[in-house]
């Protein structure tokens, strides 16, 4: 018979051998620890003071096992989504041996999802790329780093010589740290091109553009934690239960504690919808009609927030005219949503406040993505649901640092921190980088191209294959250098194969070979392809920005494994090869070819006034990670009297104004007039002029102010709207005397000819910001948010049918925008839509095809499909099809099917998942699979031993043409397909 | 002594599978062995609910009752453990278990089974706490370090609770009272012969 454990344990303990090892170990569980581990502390459910505690585990005489004793604990941030969960790693002898819950993080409170709970495997995966390789005559061959960098560099310089700097496409990553993304963008600037992009293009570029054009900044207004304050949560175009699982901790607890409405509007009954109090099924692509349908009821019943609109909103009358067209009958005809249901939801949004609107790629990944998110913002403005706890546009970004990579300008339309590409922006960064503006200009083909947005990554292959005269730069793209981006995340894979073949050089810098490699080989490449092993983010240190704009500093958990190098080193080696490393790293310490992350952040701090990244010094960020436990779970604020982080909001969410010494606490909620700006308050940003001339019906014009009307942040010395601060405006107010002599000298250096024109965003001394803050004013001014975003393709959002729509009857009334040239490329969406209608495509391909995420995988999925703990859970690519559609086609659940697409004779073989999750006429695919193409298994195309465990067809083999005119966003969320049993 | 139990609040479970991979990570559980998994009912339909499932560490565990070599035992904490040294891989426990917890590695042709493996409540096995032998056979022993099972500790929505039965029942009751709904502590009647009144 076996002995009982307690007996046994006491026997062992009494031997004393382990007892010696347990000195200093935790003495069992105290009540606080226990409750925290049981998932309760912090929540308002913790009315547990009355609990009998006698039964709580008493101290156990036990030691930490000898297997983990002596391990060092290091903290970094999960690399799988933008929630920003802290990962706590135990490291012993340089090996990451265990993961522990991160109880102290105010964001995840110990929790993870399947991906976060398995990140340790990513680092020591046996299937990682171990050393640089190149393709020689179709064979993968090992090369040294030196050889690789030299050969790649020589080829790039040759292409530059022949075709100009714009012929090299620099594709970076939302997976890099802020420092990595920033350096990559800086490399593009020094190389002389704006063809530098990353995943934000295909996830939230439309959010950034649409939302910034509404009220100033294109980011999540509130935070995950703050959603706990909402009385109504509307999730439209997102499935956070799978895409941002840890956010559901906040959403579901908020729903419970507030007895909140939890509304999900989606074509699919998602795992998030399974928890909804109200689920609204809509036709894919009809977001604007649904939103206008809600606004129609709001206006009809006078539920709009009249005071808020009067004080803080521009363009209400223009909106009203558009909304009037969307009566319940028309909304139901276009979107399929009954009027009564929408009325119910509209009433919740407008009257059961605070209400928040949550979205992700369901709204953004469309040809009307920018208009969609604009309509969402307008719904919030109409009901006064912005700028207060529990409200807001809670935009869930995708990757762990996609917000940061966007902010640091790894983008085709701007330099770091949204300064744009105009001469003034280049001169600003030339000052920050301490290089001559003329030098930067000399790197480009022309001043004109230097100030012209680059080519969106969605179009890279067309930039290679289109006739030269259609690509508005010196020559076609000849080489792609991709560092951390999946190729199977980009639509129209059959067309991209042509680009992969035609390129002169393809460089893949990544921990895995990715589908770039397997598809390039499939496309027929035999040479001119290099793969460089780059470290995962757990092997580097640096800052990352979560969706809520909080910056978190991740430590290096282990040193880069095998021959991997981190992103910063790779960028440095390229710069060195190109001969401009000295200039580019003038103010950044470099040791053994590795630039110091802290120095890079300090350089960003010195130049990022426009976005308020100036206050987040590496020292402050590290103090936040060290003191995580001190931040309140709901407000995310630390007690004011704390010596290190007193009064700060966790992660100093941007904008964090002024120099670090100003100790601005960060801004947890954007545009919140109820707080003093030094407590994180703010106003809408006037960045579209101070007044606008409007035409009246009688032919005359009037000027309308775009500044706030009687609304201002708490404690503001100016109690009305005001423009951005410049030296001139400080003088006018008599506040220029508050500037120190040193600040004044810097302002004079910034613009010796006209110091009065130096603004809050160009003043490198931070003085103008400091003085504005002193007087309780927001440096960027106090304006109105725009319902009418003049300057955008549709200033008031207009419904436009998807390029490939099953509702051809609606195309004549709601056509897509006319063909045009955008971002150096033709956008022929209108012609494609017209041809599709004329050719009866919707008859041949009658099913709407949409795509989305699975919880187990991330992005293009090569990394997560390589992780056995995750791969085991999702072993097959599949397509969801409604039982009615399946029955019509003789398709069985789990059976193989061929999916065919509306373009390029595309086809893909996968399994059918017959489910009512999708409505009749709609099919859905996860987008994380790759490594199969048109029924072919491409496993043999990967270098030996680096193939992911699970391979499958990519959703984007079937997706089709369609690009948002304002950002170049692709359209993977609505197209057409046909499905047949295989 | 506390009586350790699991409780999955199905109104919180979102089938994110954190519990599953946390378990794999903590114990290096090989491919094909699933000490914990998430089961979804009404998948894709209104009323869809998921529950995270593993050995529930039953009161008077039926697996122990049928084991021909008496290798399954209950600790003073109420955790049901077994000895892989004694286990003969007969599979009786699999038939007795109402939760499908016991798992067996395939060790050869003809479907021969290896030694049974299942959730240990992160409490190892009969070997010395925290020893290499214990880790190799059963995985980590968190309980001995004063920690609870990692699956529950890492649960994304705090749906899966682990700890003393009375405390987690109380937490669940408070939740149900506050929010006004609850589908019951799934599996409790079978495992512990009790339900949570709310």
pLDDT averaged per 10 residues, chain A (length 982): 40 33 37 41 33 35 60 96 97 95 97 98 95 98 98 98 98 97 98 98 96 97 98 98 98 97 98 98 98 98 98 97 98 97 98 98 98 98 98 96 97 98 98 98 98 98 98 98 97 98 98 97 97 98 98 98 97 98 98 98 98 98 98 97 97 98 97 98 96 91 96 98 98 97 98 97 98 98 98 97 98 98 98 98 98 97 97 98 98 98 98 98 98 98 97 98 98 98 96
Q: Which residue of B has its CA nearest to A242?
A: B16
Distance CA A789, CA A721 (A): 19
Helices A287-300 and A369-382 cross at an angle (nearest 10°) of 20
Any chain B CB within 8 A of the CB of A242? yes
Distance CA A343, CA A347 (A): 6
Q: What is the pLDDT of residue A32?
A: 38
CA torsion, ordered A782, A785, A788, A790, to nearest 10 deg: 50
Closest C-alpha among A398, A471, A460 to residue A195: A460
Which residues on A lie below 8 Å from B67 (Cβ)?
Answer: none
Chain B, residues 17-36, CB within 8 A of chain A, namely 17-22, 24-26, 31-32
Q: What is the pLDDT of residue A66?
A: 60
Q: Tokens at residue B2, please?
A: 């506390």
Distance CA B75, CA A868 (A): 32
Chain B, residues 113-172, CB within 8 A of chain A, namely 123, 126, 128-132, 134-135, 140-141, 143-148, 150, 152-158, 161-164, 166-168, 170-171
Q: Do B158 and A111 touch (CB under 8 A)?
A: yes
Cα angle: A730, vertex A733, A736; to 5 degrees: 40
Distance CA A947, CA A581 (A): 35
Helix (H) or strand (E) holding B58: none
Q: What is the pLDDT of residue A69?
A: 82
Q: What is the pLDDT of residue B198?
A: 58
Please give, rounded to a whole number of angstroms, the shortest distance from the CA of B182 to a CA of chain A.
11
Any chain A CB within 8 A of the CB of B60? no
Q: What is the pLDDT of residue A696?
A: 87
pTM of the complete model:
0.94
Q: What is the pLDDT of residue A54?
A: 34
Please give, rounded to a whole number of angstroms, the shortest distance from the CA of B144 to a CA of chain A.
5
**Contact, A971 vs A850, CB < 8 A?**
no
Task: Give A979's contacts (C-beta < 8 A, 6+ positions apart).
Answer: A847, A879, A881, A885, A889, A891, A897, A898, A899, A900, A912, A923
Residue A354: is the preceding peptide bond cis (ω within 30°)? yes
Which residues on B lie below 8 Å from A34 (Cβ)?
Answer: 163, 167
Predicted interface score ipTM higher than 0.90: yes
Q: What is the pLDDT of residue B109?
A: 78
Any chain A CB within 8 A of the CB of B51? no
Burial class (CB in 10 A: 0-12, 13-18, 19+), A357: buried
Pick B163's closest partner by Cβ from A34, A68, A112.
Answer: A34
Pick A56's closest partner by Cβ from B2, B75, B128.
Answer: B2
Cα angle: A918, vertex A919, A922; to 5 degrees: 75
**Contact, A782 vs A686, CB < 8 A?**
yes
Helix (H) or strand (E) holding A742: helix A741-750
Task: Give A96's contacts (C-beta < 8 A, 6+ positions apart).
Answer: A89, A90, A120, A123, A124, A538, A557, A558
Any chain B CB within 8 A of the CB of A113? yes
The tally of CA atoms less than 13 A away on the side-chain side of residue A759 is 16
Distance CA A663, CA A665 (A): 6
Q: What is the pLDDT of residue B1?
A: 67
SS (H, E, C) B84-129: CCCCCCCCHHHHHCCCCCCECCECCCCCCECCCECCCCCECCCCCC
Q: What is the pLDDT of residue A65?
A: 55
Q: Tokens at residue A171, please?
A: 């594709």
Q: Tokens at residue A914, please?
A: 């017959």
Q: Do B171 and A39 touch (CB under 8 A)?
A: yes
Please give, rounded to a whole number of angstroms, the shortest distance from the CA of A27 to a CA of chain B.
7
Please give, rounded to a whole number of angstroms, the shortest distance from the CA of A231 to a CA of chain B.
13
Q: Do B154 and A856 touch (CB under 8 A)?
A: no
Chosen for mutation from A32, A274, A279 (greatest number of chain B CBs closer than 10 Å) is: A274
Q: What is the pLDDT of residue B196?
A: 87
Q: Which residue of B has its CA nearest to A239?
A: B14
Burial class (CB in 10 A: 0-12, 13-18, 19+), A307: exposed
């Amino acid at each position: 018979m076996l002995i009982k454990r307690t007996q046994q344990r006491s026997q062992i303990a009494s031997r004393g051998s382990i007892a010696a090892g347990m000195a200093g170990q935790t003495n069992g569980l105290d009540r606080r620890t226990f409750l925290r581990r049981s998932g309760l502390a912090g929540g308002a459910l913790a009315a547990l003071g009355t609990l009998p505690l006698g039964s709580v585990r008493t101290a156990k005489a036990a030691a930490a096992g000898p297997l983990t004793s002596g391990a060092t604990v290091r903290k970094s941030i999960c690399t799988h989504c933008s929630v920003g969960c802290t990962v706590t790693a135990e490291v012993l002898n340089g090996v990451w041996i265990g993961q522990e819950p991160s109880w102290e993080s105010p964001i995840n409170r110990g929790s993870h999802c399947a991906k976060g709970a398995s990140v340790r495997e990513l680092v020591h995966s046996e299937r990682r790329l171990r050393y640089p390789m190149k393709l020689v005559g179709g064979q993968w061959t090992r090369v040294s780093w030196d050889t690789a960098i030299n050969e790649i560099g020589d080829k790039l310089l040759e292409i530059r010589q022949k075709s100009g700097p714009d012929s090299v496409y620099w594709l970076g990553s939302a997976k890099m740290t802020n420092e990595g993304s920033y350096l990559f963008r800086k490399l593009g600037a020094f190389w002389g091109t704006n063809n530098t992009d990353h995943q934000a293009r295909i996830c939230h570029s439309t959010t950034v553009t649409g939302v910034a054009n509404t009220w100033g900044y294109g980011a999540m207004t509130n935070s995950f934690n703050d959603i706990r304050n909402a009385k109504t949560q509307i999730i439209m175009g997102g499935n956070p239960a799978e895409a941002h699982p840890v956010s559901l901790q906040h959403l579901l607890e908020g729903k419970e504690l507030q007895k909140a409405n939890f509304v999900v509007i989606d074509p699919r009954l998602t795992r998030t919808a399974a928890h909804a109090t109200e689920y609204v099924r809509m036709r894919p692509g009809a977001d604007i009609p649904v939103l206008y349908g809600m606004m129609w009821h709001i206006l009809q019943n006078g539920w709009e927030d009249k005071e808020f609109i009067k004080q803080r909103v521009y363009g209400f009358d223009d909106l009203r005219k558009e909304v009037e067209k969307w009566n319940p009958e028309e909304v139901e005809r276009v979107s399929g949503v009954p009027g009564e249901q929408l009325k119910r939801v509209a009433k919740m949004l407008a009257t059961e406040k605070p209400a928040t609107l949550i979205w992700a790629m369901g709204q953004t990944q469309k040809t009307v993505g920018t208009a969609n998110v604009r309509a969402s913002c307008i719904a919030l403005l109409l009901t006064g649901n912005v700028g207060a706890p529990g409200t807001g546009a809670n935009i869930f970004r995708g990757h762990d640092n996609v917000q940061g990579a966007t902010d640091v300008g790894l983008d085709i339309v701007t330099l770091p921190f949204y300064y744009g590409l105009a001469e003034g922006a280049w001169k600003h960064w030339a000052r920050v980088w301490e290089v001559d503006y003329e030098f930067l200009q000399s790197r480009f083909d022309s001043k004109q191209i230097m100030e012209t947005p680059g080519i969106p990554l969605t179009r890279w292959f067309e930039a290679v294959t289109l006739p030269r005269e259609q690509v508005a730069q010196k020559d076609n793209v000849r080489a792609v250098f991709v560092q951390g981006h999946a190729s199977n995340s980009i639509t129209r894979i059959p067309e991209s194969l042509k680009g992969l073949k035609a390129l002169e050089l393809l460089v893949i810098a990544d921990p895995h070979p990715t589908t770039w490699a397997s598809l390039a080989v499939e496309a027929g490449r035999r040479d001119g392809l290099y793969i460089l092993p780059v470290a995962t983010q757990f092997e580097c240190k640096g800052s990352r920005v979560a969706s809520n704009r909080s910056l978190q500093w991740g430590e290096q958990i282990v040193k880069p494994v095998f021959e991997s190098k981190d992103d910063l080193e790779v960028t440095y080696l390229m710069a060195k090869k190109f001969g401009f490393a000295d200039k580019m790293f003038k103010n950044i310490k470099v040791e053994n070819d590795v630039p110091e992350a802290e120095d890079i952040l300090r350089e960003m701090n010195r130049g990022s006034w426009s976005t308020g990244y100036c206050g987040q010094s590496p020292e402050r960020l590290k103090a936040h990670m060290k003191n995580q436990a001190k931040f309140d779970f709901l407000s995310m604020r630390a007690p004011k009297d704390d010596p290190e982080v007193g009064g700060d909001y966790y992660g100093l969410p941007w904008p964090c104004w002024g120099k670090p010494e100003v100790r601005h606490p960060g801004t947890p909620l954007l545009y919140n007039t109820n707080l003093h700006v030094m407590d994180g308050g703010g106003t809408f940003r006037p960045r579209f002029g101070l007044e606008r001339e409007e035409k009246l019906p009688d032919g005359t014009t009037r000027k309308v102010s775009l500044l706030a009307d009687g609304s201002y942040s708490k404690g503001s010395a100016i109690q009305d709207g005001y423009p951005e601060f410049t030296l001139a405006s400080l003088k006018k107010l008599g506040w220029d005397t508050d500037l120190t002599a040193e600040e004044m000298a810097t302002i004079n250096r910034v613009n010796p000819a006209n110091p009065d024109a130096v603004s809050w965003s160009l003043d490198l001394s931070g003085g103008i910001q400091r003085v504005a803050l002193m007087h309780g004013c927001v440096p960027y001014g106090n304006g109105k948010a725009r319902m009418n975003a003049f300057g955008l393709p549709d200033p008031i959002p207009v419904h436009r049918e998807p390029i490939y729509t099953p509702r051809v009857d609606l195309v004549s009334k709601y056509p897509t925008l006319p063909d045009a040239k955008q971002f150096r490329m033709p956008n022929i969406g209108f012609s494609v839509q017209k041809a599709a209608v004329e050719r009866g495509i919707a008859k041949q391909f009658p099913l709407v095809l949409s795509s989305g995420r699975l919880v187990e995988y991330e992005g293009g999925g090569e990394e997560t499909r390589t992780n056995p703990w995750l791969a085991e859970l999702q072993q097959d690519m599949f397509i969801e099809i409604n039982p009615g559609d399946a029955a019509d086609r003789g398709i069985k659940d789990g059976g193989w099917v061929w999916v065919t697409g509306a373009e390029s004779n595309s086809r893909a073989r996968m399994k059918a998942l017959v489910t009512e999750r999708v409505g009749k006429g709609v099919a859905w695919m996860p987008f994380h699979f790759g490594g199969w193409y048109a029924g072919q298994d491409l496993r043999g195309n990967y270098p030996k031993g680096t193939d992911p465990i699970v391979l499958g067809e990519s959703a984007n083999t079937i997706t089709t043409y369609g690009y948002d005119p304002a950002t170049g966003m692709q359209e993977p969320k609505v197209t057409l397909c046909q499905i047949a049993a295989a | 002594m506390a009586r350790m139990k699991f409780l999955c609040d199905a109104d919180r479970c979102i089938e994110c599978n954190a519990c599953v991979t946390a378990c794999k990570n903590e114990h290096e559980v090989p491919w094909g062995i699933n000490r914990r998994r998430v089961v979804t009912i009404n998948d894709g339909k209104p009323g869809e609910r998921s529950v995270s499932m593993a050995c529930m560490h039953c009161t008077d565990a039926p697996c122990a009752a049928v084991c021909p070599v008496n290798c399954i035992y209950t600790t003073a904490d109420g955790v049901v453990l077994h000895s892989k040294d004694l286990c003969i891989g007969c599979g009786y426990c699999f038939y007795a278990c109402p939760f499908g917890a016991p798992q067996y590695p395939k060790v050869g042709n003809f479907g021969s089974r290896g030694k049974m493996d299942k959730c240990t409540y992160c409490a190892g096995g009969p070997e010395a706490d925290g020893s290499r032998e214990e880790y190799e056979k059963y995985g980590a022993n968190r309980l001995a370090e004063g920690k609870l099972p990692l699956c529950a500790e890492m649960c994304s929505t705090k749906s899966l609770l682990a700890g003393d039965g009375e405390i987690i029942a109380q937490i669940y009751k408070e939740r149900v009272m506050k929010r006004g709904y609850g589908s019951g502590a799934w599996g409790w009647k079978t495992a512990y012969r009790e339900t949570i009144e709310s």
